[in-house]
Structure 1
């Protein structure tokens, strides 16, 4: 890497951007990595000099405007006795280096997270303890510490983040997270290009000979393709070796750092947050290991504003009430005080899990996730008409299997006319932006949350229960077990679980997708033999929801959710490279031998 001898930040906020000026804040501190690259870091200090624990957020979004900065976390935590470090990730904003998302975070050739923690821990204003905080990108890069944790890393607070980059960030059920990932990649590539230009301009002004001496020239990192990572994500879907560098699960058993996991029912990374909590807590195998982990699951969409009047309680088209609001900064402080300062604030006496029950709109606790009292019950698809849905088949849901000779339900999937996305665990915006304009949480979550599915049901199969005689609570993991066939070599199955209100609204509770060629393996796809019947499981992740007396449950089945996911071309090829598409006539079997059904967690 070509590194100028003197550090100068590659980015300075414009005069229109609000940046706090304070004697207790030091800006653009260059923290050196093992390869010589320097990462620009802002430090916020308590009012009184001394030695304190340090809390670190590492962000690709600009340390001057990071997610934690946007909610005032650095000032709040510094005022309560912590040094707070907010750092631009490699190749981002003021930092040097080349950006390739997550590759240089933890246990690869470069270990930027490890190096940063080690540097912070040895400063004379640090007491030797470092904690990490943040969410989304800054949540996953915390989890990546599990592969190479610093001995000075003593606590984490990770909000809404993946366990596997492949399975909960880039893809889900084998389908590409098109709406989120492609737009996220495009927006963040603008900054990657700006940063690259700034570095090249500086080399041309100050280090021409170093630039010319670099050998081999073709390997000069400043000349590398800034879009390589996007192409890799799309072209290497089946490359298990590539994705291992972004998978936290192999390190669950050995990771011992106390961690607070924050998740939400309509967040795009819900599945990863739950996998990390369950894996880290259970793999440790001891009461001490279990004690190190806490989990809170709220009803929210993606983002940190859980205590706001808007984002803290309204999720899509549903208002979950004032009790849904939650003090994010206050809970972070209590966690770090408990772990890093051993303050007796009651954390050791609280149950490990707090979760919000939608429908009842209240909080509950449990000793584990899923709650130990949960049992699982099968809810069968039935060919008999329910009389409640304007869908292709208007089928039923029943606690008992269908008739021996019940006819299957069929629908046509035309990849050129996909069924649109209506809500769910997603994160993308169709808002028209002006050049240089940034998106807020309102825009990013504009397509997410619980929304009425009736606008798409006429193009889908539905299976609806009778009105409930009593309330039914569903708390825990949800999945659908389907018996299917298709006329195409590959197709998708999307399953949505909804709450049908007495007025007819069909409100989304949870959903999932499974690409058929990945039904058996993430890395060894197998195509369908048209006409043969296959068993396939669709993971709807999890929920906690009370379906009220008089309401109905409904399963909606089809083969697309665009633009949230890429559209399966049906040819057996990747949608990223396919040039042709074929229609698929897809069949769901509901007879007694091939009993397609939901598996619901009840009895919490």
Structure 2
């Protein structure tokens, strides 16, 4: 029986006390009345409603998010949306997610247990939220509040370094996030505000006056208070420790005995949500938890919205999904006991781009994927798409290397969404750049599906002490449209791993780099080409390497570097693609 939607009421700034006496505040959305359904059997006068909790740093009362909260409440849920500690209307000291000290586990626990005993709650609690509100869920989950039944999470990886890929600052999105969403509220920490104090003011000033000036400010350590508000000290700590995991999620999955719905997108910078799913499947403490994980991956960017059109691509009507309509059946099953089929079938649901269809899988990545090597070839002129770079199944031959000059004063500019998030864009806008090496197949005579994590094994040298290498996997359409699918990034000093001591390069020495690309699922159709672009910059998606060997966050010097890529019999550079064979 479907639930008849109802009008709702909203109580603003409801006080939620924490164990240390700090008062946090939440908006509470309540249905006026509910027609009993399924096993719920509860109305506003007979035991309260199942309750959903979201803890956010982004101003709980933002109208852009309220539609989702109202949608959940109209489906028969009490919805609690709380400003996390030190944010907006909540008291206390804000500790950012990139820091080393947090209150979020205890605050989350206390909020869950507070909500469970309110007269409008029936004591069955679920949590929800994407990105930072997903992080707050994973922070509290290991404490296992007694009334917490399930989570609906996404847009979050298990390590801080999944967020800041390769241990490197990502100013394009990071500055928009830090300066636009976080710093306006921390300007109040200063005796006199030095910059905008609301998100709306920041947007207006950025649009008309500042534009993107902070992207070109050097060094990052000297960003003025106008930009960072009261966050300067924590911002410097973040810059110093970009290569370290601060989240602490690894090792905690064995404590989380909960069913979890994991949602992400192929163009989500935090598509490492797939790793959260696998950690829970492998490490959760009970069979109940391990068997009741679900993964949902669509052609989406890092956002709550799931739209058919992202960037330059329309993925068709099957990609258009309403968030409330996706979340409600999950909560109906776990909190109301409805046998609605949401747990039927294989646990992994992925959208195969190119084919533009959904497909269920038993595992992520699909166990049947076959790792297939595509080797780089050229006659030394792979620069630009009109060069002689080739990609083929044929092994490397005795052939000369390719080279280019990477100048951090003139980086390859990122093609991404206006808010700094990833998306699919036609790469022909960068086709003129000679600091991009292009390797592509001939037009395909039969379709090839790539689903999983590609890996580039690159043999390369530089005349710098430190530098970067980037790779993009691209689907080239018959008309020349070149759509990016996923990418990888490697800072040379971290080539031995982020947990190992940094090691600068010896100029001229050839090194083997493994660049793990973000996961994808794409059908390269007949007549299309498989292509990879190799360069040393993707700015401002990743910070520029200054090529000096110094700490880039406190170094203002910029030096060009000559890069050489080898693809001969003894140094066979290649990309390994996970191919799904029919």
> For this structure pair, what is the TM-score category when the shorter chain's length is used for normalisation?
0.7 to 0.9
Classify the secondary structure of the residue corresponding to 2:519.
Answer: strand
Answer yes or no: is the 8 Å Cα contact 2:466–2:491 preserved in 1.
yes
How far off is 1:497 after superposition?
A: 0.8
- Match status 1:365 vs 2:350: no
Please give the per-residue CA displacement for 1:432-472, whole angstroms capped at 9, x wherever unaligned: xxxxxxxxxxxx26x74111112223321011111111111
Task: From 165, 173, 176, give the equivalent of 1:180.
Answer: 173
- Match status 1:257 vs 2:258: yes
Task: From 35, 57, 62, give the equivalent of 2:59.
Answer: 62
Q: CA 1:152–1:394 in 2, change beyond 3 Å: closer, same or farther?
A: farther
Give the structure 2 partner of residue 562 of structure 1: 539
Answer yes or no: is the 8 Å Cα contact 2:187–2:230 preserved in 1.
no
How far apart, CA to CA, are the structure 2 residues paired with 1:153 and 1:94?
25
How far off is 1:503 after superposition?
A: 1.8
- Match status 1:486 vs 2:479: no
Please give the per-residue CA displacement for 1:466-489, whole angstroms capped at 9, x wherever unaligned: 111111101111221111111111
Q: CA 1:44–1:579 in 2, change beyond 3 Å: closer, same or farther?
A: same
Answer yes or no: is the 8 Å Cα contact 1:93–1:195 preserved in 2.
no
Classify the secondary structure of the residue corresponding to 1:45.
Answer: strand
1:450-461 map, 5 Å? 450-457=424-431, 458-459=433-434, 460-461=436-437
How far apart, CA to CA, are the structure 1 residues paired with 2:192 and 2:111?
21
- Match status 1:594 vs 2:571: yes
Structure 1 runs, 4 residues or longer, greater than 4 Å off: 103-110, 197-200, 384-387
How far apart, CA to CA, are the structure 2 residues paired with 1:103 and 1:568?
21
How far off is 1:292 after superposition?
A: 1.8
Number of positions where the alignment pairs a residue of Structure 1 with one of Structure 2: 525
Answer yes or no: is the 8 Å Cα contact 1:91–1:196 preserved in 2.
no
Task: From 109, 112, 123, give the equivalent of 2:107.
Answer: 112
- Match status 1:294 vs 2:279: no
RMSD: 2.5
Q: CA 1:339–1:410 in 2, change beyond 3 Å: closer, same or farther?
A: same
How far apart, CA to CA, are the structure 1 residues paired with 2:99 and 2:384?
51
How far apart, CA to CA, are the structure 2 residues paired with 1:104 and 1:503?
47
Give the structure 1 partner of residue 519 of structure 2: 542
- Match status 1:228 vs 2:233: yes
Classify the secondary structure of the residue corresponding to 1:348.
Answer: coil
1:76-95 map, 5 Å? 76-95=71-90
Answer yes or no: is the 8 Å Cα contact 2:257–2:285 preserved in 1.
no
How far off is 1:67 after superposition?
A: 5.6
Q: CA 1:483–1:23 in 2, change beyond 3 Å: closer, same or farther?
A: closer
Give the structure 1 partner of residue 249 of structure 2: 248
How far apart, CA to CA, are the structure 2 residues paired with 1:382 and 1:326?
42
Gaps of 5+ in 1: 1-21, 201-223, 307-311, 430-443
Gaps of 5+ in 2: 1-6, 33-43, 194-228
Answer yes or no: is the 8 Å Cα contact 1:143–1:163 preserved in 2.
no
- Match status 1:192 vs 2:185: yes
- Match status 1:100 vs 2:76: no
How far apart, CA to CA, are the structure 1 residues paired with 2:471 and 2:108?
38
How far off is 1:236 after superposition?
A: 2.2
Give the structure 1 partner of residue 475 of structure 2: 499
Please give the per-residue CA displacement for 1:147-186, whole angstroms capped at 9, x wherever unaligned: 4332222111113223222x122x2112211111122111
Q: CA 1:27–1:199 in 2, change beyond 3 Å: closer, same or farther?
A: farther
Give the structure 2 partner of residue 27 of structure 1: 12
- Match status 1:51 vs 2:48: yes
Q: CA 1:285–1:592 in 2, change beyond 3 Å: closer, same or farther?
A: farther
Give the structure 1 partner of residue 284 of structure 2: 284
TM-score, with normalisation over the residues of structure 2? 0.85
- Match status 1:315 vs 2:310: yes
- Match status 1:414 vs 2:399: no
Answer yes or no: is the 8 Å Cα contact 1:488–1:528 preserved in 2.
yes
Please give the per-residue CA displacement for 1:368-407, whole angstroms capped at 9, x wherever unaligned: 11122212111111125899x844853110112111x221
How far off is 1:68 after superposition?
A: 3.8
Give the structure 2 partner of residue 305 of structure 1: 305
Q: CA 1:590–1:565 in 2, change beyond 3 Å: closer, same or farther?
A: same
Please give the per-residue CA displacement for 1:511-559, whole angstroms capped at 9, x wherever unaligned: 1211111111214211111122211111211111011111111110000
Q: CA 1:99–1:198 in 2, change beyond 3 Å: closer, same or farther?
A: farther
Classify the secondary structure of the residue corresponding to 2:559.
Answer: coil
